[in-house]
Amino acid sequence: MTYDLKLRIWRGDAKGGALQDFTVPVDDGEVVLDAVHHVQALRAGDLSVRWNCKAGKCGSCSAEINGRPRLMCMSRLSDFPKDEPITITPMRTFPVIKDLVTDVSFNYVKAAEVLAFTPTAEQPKAPFRMAQVDVERSQEFRKCIECFLCQDVCHVVRDHEENKQAYAGPRFFLRYAELDMHPNDALDRKKLAQEERGLGLCNITKCCTEVCPEHIKITDNAIIPMKERVVDVKYDPIRFLRRKPKAKV
Amino acid sequence: MATEVETHAYDVIVIGAGGAGLRAAIAAHDAGAKTAVICKSLLGKAHTVMAEGGIAAAMGNLWPEDNWKVHFRDTMRGGKLLNHWRMAELHAKEAPERVWELEQWGALFDRTPEGLISQRDFGGHRYARLAHVGDRTGLEMIRTLQQRAVALGIDVFMECTVTALLKDGDRMAGAFGYWRETGRFVCFESPAVVLATGGIGKSWKVTSNSWEYTGDGHALAMKAGAGLVNMEFVQFHPTGMVWPPSVRGILVTESVRGDGGVLKNSDGERFMFNYIPEFFKAETADTIEEADRWYTDKKNNRRPPELLPRDEVARAINSEIKAGRGSPHGGVFLDIASRRSAEYIQKRLPSMYHQFKELAQVDITKDAMEIGPTCHYVMGGVEVDPDSGESKVTGLYAAGEVAGGMHGANRLGGNSLGDLLVFGKRAGEYAARYAANLAGSGPVVHADDLEAAATEALAPFSTEGGENPYSVHQELQTVMQNLVGIIRNEEELNTAIKEIDSLRRRIDHLSVEGHRQYNPGWNLAIDLKNMLLVSEAVAKAALERKESRGGHTRDDYPMTDYSYWGKRNLICELAENGEVRTREQPLPEPPPELAELLEEH
Amino acid sequence: MVAPVVPTPAPAPKPEIKANPRAAIAAKTLRNDRWWVSPAISFAVLSAFVIYATWAAFDNGNYYVKPYISPFYSPCLAHICGAAHHGNTGVPPHLSIFGAWWAISPAIIILIFPLGFRMTCYYYRRAYYRAFWMSPPACAVAEPHKSYSGETRFPLIMQNIHRYFFFAGLVFNVLLTYDAVVAFVEPRAASYGGGYVGLGSFVLLINAVLLWMYSASCHSCRHIVGGRLKHFSKHPIRFKMWGVVSKLNTRHMQLAWTSLIFVALTDVYVRLAASGALGHGRWI
């Protein structure tokens, strides 16, 4: 069924901007990204929006819909009341480029800081032997489509620009956890994560998990286990005492 | 007044950051070349993420009987023997190494009980052969390559579109493009250019491809003087979503069938048994009982007809729908719910479960999916030397979907990801080698070429009251969908060529609103030119090939013609007048020891 | 025709953290759902518990009615427990580790441990950071603080000792389980109608079970039983245990709330029974 939908879309750039109203014909089965495309085709040909697959697999069309960080392609119009306008704004945590497009280079900086996978001395060369149960935890984290919604919603950087240098953010804690749990990785990144990547800044308020379109249990399965692993090497006096004599042998 | 254009000098530039592009860049970097990757989207968003099923590689982890020879045979037969034999051979031989390389860089594939990489069944492959991670193998692959490229410190130009290749005489000299963010121009001086731009599917209405798939590399190569081979062969994936309208065309992985799913019409009949072609009779089960036994006992049973190559399945679905036995929304049913446990489905097909649940509100563990064919992949592409990936133009390389020949008339599922890795690596390596050997005698970029490229790119801004690029794009999609779709004939193809020609005249008068900064209207206006050129090539090649084979079906020539067309490729080139012209070229013959493998047995 | 083009060398683009302006949106949040409901409920329930527990802990009476002891007062470590106290019916078993000099409520000695366990719990941290500290009040709702250092400094860096409170919590679980067993086997005061099993027996039992489940679902517990391992395949038993704990862990929030509320209700029950407010029926 076709009906007229009211949209309020933030338009502007680094110099400023405002919400602008549009009304476009939409269909029941459509998603928010379709509505934005209708605006482009019918009302504003230069409306900027980033998107690719339109199937929730590439993580490009991240934005905030009625104030909540979401993928536009996975937000069905039927989940919103027909008679109320839908507000679409760019991700708040990143500098705006134009309209709904933001500069997400923060995430690429953090990606470059990760120490890459390094095979162990026992199995230096693929093909590796690894059991399914041993790869499963890391596999969950590798489902990440890098939409950066978790980075956007995380108040550590969302509300505190000054933390950006010191904080890798949930997406990359996922990565540190993935490598720490990789059955054939040789490096220890626990202290690095805590001391230089800002793991301690996270106060586990779980918004990253709430917004993850891949339903990765970021907090419970990656960040908290990483925090516990950090305790093992940094804050646990008993383990610390137990380890020392071993180290001398 | 002169305009300054930001310029970068490299030994090798790679256009495209999907599987092939990243693998090429890594190879070029490893070979010592100063390398850059240029991509239209952000790094890690390329179309490779959409690949679901797996990477075909004869590692023999589950079936020790499997080896490169069987894989080679499957590839050639799936391609209806129109493949370049050498590419199929290299691919079958090198794919396992390339998969292990990914593991070496941190990829985590699903495992066998022995701890090796698990392999799954797919259409057209004799043995379970696809290395996979659930149904998100493409994501795993691109993430692994992306992380490797980042770790190596390769320069990446994100959201940067190349609009022209630059030549010095008859050699490559570089590329010209613009930053999407600012609209400002950028010039790359590089003796070696690797095209890895993917496919052309955005010219069809029902497609699994994203906006990026506008055939840029195909068009750039033609304009630079290279030829395209096999452009008439476009793969329509048999299973795309059909409902709701906004998701029409989105891919439903072949793994659903590999893992036990079956196709049914509105009468509840497993209709694929009625569509087994002579060519595959000997290796396909003809009873439901045998087909069902095959999943657990592959030695003593033949494969179910649902796992025939994609072209066969797509045509069968098309016929069922036309015969009025379709589903309510114009597809057929793909049913795994009644055949496998909910737990198994969620474990093996998590992203399909998720995709149907969230986009169509269908629980695939309880109900059948409604699916229909969707434009998925182009077998045709730049004609390259199989070993090096170099095109007819010196210094211009191509790898992945933009290159042609490897898949012949039809691509087997799982062979694409392998193709990206095997030929990406080769193209990168050979490009680096070529650049290194130039030593001081490298090509130069000519200023007037830059000027011409800049003028062409800015044209839509200087036209006022011209046409809206979005509506021209929609018209093109309608033409290609209706007239150059799964089933073709002479009359419709002639109409299509006329329509494309008139659209081409109209895009000289496109006008766009706003400024150059992140302007999708302008970006589309530029991409449209490529789409039209490539669509013309597809339509003309399709008109020329008077037979049916693989991804090209003519209802006026329904038979496969082994004696004439079975020995010829069609090459598309750009003529002086700017039109596409086709010519026939003899198909390279495999040496006897390989030809022997292709016999039935 | 554009102007003549001059190629100008430029550095390769490197990703950097740019301080360029964000989209100019004044509203603290554009959420139009009732995002404040959840933190408001957390605030109300946690506040109610703290107020009640403080009062109950300082009340120093009505915590024992043979054979039921309030979880707030178990184990009775102070000498004063031995003195028949106001409101108590019967003399609770006591250890007298703390001598006669300990004059205030004996609950204070022990409450620190279960409270510490809950204060440093990963779930409660989420709840009170949101509900009390508004850091953030809800997802995508701006927090009111100027600066933020997370759990990197004192006192919040102390959250890292959660696993010690977990072990202490286990000790209390054993003791409260013992109390529940006693509630089933020890004859009740004749004045209460005698007999062995009353409603209170079940109240104490359910309380103990909920506390065990809350502890077993704890994130530190999950880490200790198996989460810290790199190769599950080499430790099949710990992997199984980890699997069980992981399942419980997904219910950690629910268990945190039910066990918290139930521990307060258990105290209420013992208090009412001790004060005689429930009468002398066999089944109460």
Q: Is the pLDDT of residue C125 over 50?
A: yes
How many angstroms separate the CA atoms of B145 and B150, rounded? Answer: 9
For the segment B390-406, the average pLDDT, to the nearest whole number, is: 98
How many angstroms separate the CA atoms of B375 and B250, rounded? Answer: 10
**pLDDT the model gives residue A249:** 36
Burial of C102 (0-12, 13-18, 19+ CB in 10 A): middle
CA distances from B93 to B48, B58, B422, B598 (A): 22, 8, 9, 16
How many angstroms separate the CA atoms of B265 and B280, rounded? Answer: 22
Q: Do B359 and A98 make contact, defined as CB atoms within 8 angstroms?
A: no
Question: Which structure tokens are listed for B281?
Answer: 């009779």
Residue positions counted in chain A: 249
> Going by C-beta distance under 8 Å and a sequence separation of 6 or more, which residues neighbour residue B151?
A116
How many angstroms separate the CA atoms of B503 and B509, rounded? Answer: 10
Q: Is the pLDDT of residue C183 over 80?
A: yes
C79 part of a folded domain: yes
Q: Do A128 and B147 make contact, defined as CB atoms within 8 angstroms?
A: no
As a whole-number percent, the residues of chain A with pLDDT over 70 amount to 97
Whether residue B454 lies within 8 A of chain C, CB to CB, comes out as yes
Q: Which residue has the higher pLDDT, A239 or B203?
A: B203
**pTM given for the model:** 0.94
Q: Is B47 a catalytic residue?
A: no
**pLDDT the model gives residue A241:** 73
First-last CA distance in chain B: 71
**pLDDT the model gives residue B421:** 98
Q: Is the pLDDT of residue C5 over 50?
A: yes
How many angstroms separate the CA atoms of B359 and C9, rounded? Answer: 47
Q: How many domains does chain C have?
A: 1
Q: Which residue has the higher pLDDT, C110 or C221?
A: C221
For the segment C263-274, the average pLDDT, to the nearest whole number, is: 93
Mean of the per-residue pLDDT values for chain C? 89
Mean of the per-residue pLDDT values for chain B? 95
Torsion over CA: B569, B169, B578, B221 (sign): positive
For the segment B407-417, the average pLDDT, to the nearest whole number, is: 96
Find, among A75, A81, A226, the residue nearest to A147 by Cα: A75
Q: Do C5 and B3 make contact, defined as CB atoms within 8 angstroms?
A: yes
Burial B484-493 (b: 16+ CB within 10 A, else e): bbbbbeeebb
Q: Closest-CA residue in chain B for C6?
A: B4
Torsion over CA: B591, B592, B593, B595 (sign): positive
Say if residues A109 and A190 touch (Cβ distance below 8 Å).
no
Cis peptide before A85 (omega within 30 of 0): no
**pLDDT the model gives residue A224:** 98
**pLDDT the model gives residue B98:** 98
Say if residues A52 and B211 touch (Cβ distance below 8 Å).
yes
The letter for the amino acid at B168 is: D
The single-letter DSSP state of residue B510 is: B
Residues 108-167 of A with CB under 8 A from C: 108-109, 112, 131, 133-134, 153, 155-156, 158-165
Chain B nearest CA to A96, separation (Å): 11
Cis peptide before B591 (omega within 30 of 0): no
How many angstroms separate the CA atoms of A190 and B126, rounded? Answer: 45
Burial C50-80 (b: 16+ CB within 10 A, else e): eeebeebbebbbbbbbbbbbbbbbbbbbbbb
**pLDDT the model gives residue A247:** 43
**pLDDT the model gives residue C195:** 60
Question: Which subunits have 3 or more CB–CB pairs within 8 Å of chain C?
Answer: A, B
- Identified catalytic residue from B98, B120, B171, B257: B257
First-last CA distance in chain C: 96
Interface confidence: ipTM more than 0.85: yes
Q: Please give the helix or strand (H or E) that residue C95 lies within, else none.
A: strand C94-98
**pLDDT the model gives residue B155:** 98
How many angstroms separate the CA atoms of B9 and B13, rounded? Answer: 9
Q: Please give the helix or strand (H or E) that residue A151 lies within, else none.
A: helix A149-153
Best mutation site among A148, A184, A204 for testing chain C: the one with the most C CBs within 10 Å? A204
How many angstroms separate the CA atoms of B137 and B351, rounded? Answer: 11
How many angstroms separate the CA atoms of B22 and B138, rounded? Answer: 13
How many angstroms separate the CA atoms of A17 and A9, rounded? Answer: 10
Q: Closest-CA residue in chain C for B447?
A: C5
Q: Do C148 and A159 make contact, defined as CB atoms within 8 angstroms?
A: yes
Q: Do A48 and B519 make contact, defined as CB atoms within 8 angstroms?
A: yes
- B484-495 per-position pLDDT tens digit: 999 999 999 999
Best mutation site among C18, C25, C38 for testing chain A: the one with the most A CBs within 10 Å? C25
C184 part of a folded domain: yes
CATH number among 1.10.1370.30, 1.10.1060.10, 3.30.470.20, 3.40.190.10, domain A105-248: 1.10.1060.10
Task: Map out the domains of chain B as residue ranges.
Answer: 6-233+379-438, 237-374, 461-574
Beta strands in chain A (DSSP E): 2-13, 16-27, 62-65, 68-71, 86-89, 96-98, 101-102
Whether residue A52 lies within 8 A of chain C, CB to CB, comes out as no
Q: Do A119 and B104 make contact, defined as CB atoms within 8 angstroms?
A: yes
> Going by C-beta distance under 8 Å and a sequence separation of 6 or more, which residues neighbour residue A241?
none
Of B49, B59, B521, the CB nearest to A57: B49
Burial C261-271 (b: 16+ CB within 10 A, else e): ebbbebbebbb
How many angstroms separate the CA atoms of C22 and A16, rounded? Answer: 9
Superfamily of domain B6-233+379-438: FAD/NAD(P)-binding domain (3.50.50.60)
For the segment A194-207, the average pLDDT, to the nearest whole number, is: 96
Residues 212-271 of C with CB under 8 A from A: 219-220, 222-223, 227-228, 230-233, 239, 249-250
Of C29, C145, C152, the CB nearest to A200: C152
Residue bearing tokens 């890098």:
A146
C29 part of a folded domain: no
- C47-86 per-position pLDDT tens digit: 999 999 999 998 888 888 888 899 999 888 877 776 655 6
- B416-459 per-position pLDDT tens digit: 999 999 999 999 999 999 999 997 889 999 999 999 999 999 99
Of B47, B246, B250, the CB nearest to A30: B246
User: Distance of alpha carbon B342 from its chain centroid, rounded?
Assistant: 32
The single-letter DSSP state of residue C224 is: I
Find, among C284, C122, C80, the residue nearest to C192 by Cα: C284
The letter for the amino acid at B141 is: M
The single-letter DSSP state of residue B117 is: B
Find, among C244, B119, C232, B350, the residue nearest to A133 by Cα: C232
Q: Which residues of B touch C3 (CB under 8 A)?
A: 1-3
Q: Which residues of B touch C4 (CB under 8 A)?
A: 2-3, 447, 451
Chain B nearest CA to A113, separation (Å): 9
The single-letter DSSP state of residue B565 is: G
Q: Place C246 in a pLDDT band, splitting at 50, 70 and 90.
A: very high
Q: Which residues of C touch A109 (CB under 8 A)?
A: 15-17
- Identified catalytic residue from B29, B98, B237, B504: B237
Of C4, C10, C12, the CB nearest to B451: C4
Question: Which structure tokens are listed for A2?
Answer: 């076709």
Structural domain of residue C169, as residue ranges? 37-274
Superfamily of domain A2-102: Beta-grasp domain (3.10.20.30)
Question: Which structure tokens are listed for A213?
Answer: 């379109």
Residue positions counted in chain C: 284
Find, among B477, B583, B536, the residue nearest to B219 by Cα: B536
**pLDDT the model gives residue A245:** 52
Q: Is the pLDDT of residue C178 over 80?
A: yes
Q: Is the pLDDT of residue A231 over 70?
A: yes
Chain C nearest CA to A224, separation (Å): 7
Chain A nearest CA to C120, separation (Å): 11
Q: Closest-CA residue in chain B for A125?
A: B104
For the segment B180-199, the average pLDDT, to the nearest whole number, is: 97
Neighbours of B574 (CB within 10 A): 21
Q: Which residues of B touch A174 (CB under 8 A)?
A: none
As a whole-number percent, the residues of chain B with pLDDT over 70 amount to 100
- C192-231 per-position pLDDT tens digit: 555 667 888 999 999 999 999 999 999 999 999 999 999 9
- A150-196 per-position pLDDT tens digit: 999 999 999 999 999 999 999 999 999 999 999 999 999 999 999 99
Q: Please give the helix or strand (H or E) that residue B140 lies within, else none.
A: helix B137-152
Say if residues C66 and C90 touch (Cβ distance below 8 Å).
yes
Q: Closest-CA residue in chain A for C25?
A: A18
The single-letter DSSP state of residue B484 is: S
Q: Place A120 in a pLDDT band, splitting at 50, 70 and 90.
A: very high
Q: Is B257 a catalytic residue?
A: yes
Return the CATH architecture of domain B461-574: Up-down Bundle (1.20)
> Going by C-beta distance under 8 Å and a sequence separation of 6 or more, which residues neighbour residue C11?
none
Find, among B601, B599, B595, B600, the residue nearest to B85 by Cα: B595
Find, among B454, B467, B420, B395, the residue nearest to B197 by Cα: B420
Q: Please give the helix or strand (H or E) that residue C268 lies within, else none.
A: helix C252-274
As a whole-number percent, the residues of chain A with pLDDT over 90 amount to 90
Four-point Cα dihedral B35, B36, B37, B42, nearest 10: 140
Chain C nearest CA to A14, separation (Å): 5
Per CATH, domain B237-374 is 3.90.700.10: yes
The single-letter DSSP state of residue A49 is: -
SS3 A243: helix
Whether residue B187 lies within 8 A of chain C, CB to CB, comes out as yes
Q: Place C190 in a pLDDT band, splitting at 50, 70 and 90.
A: low
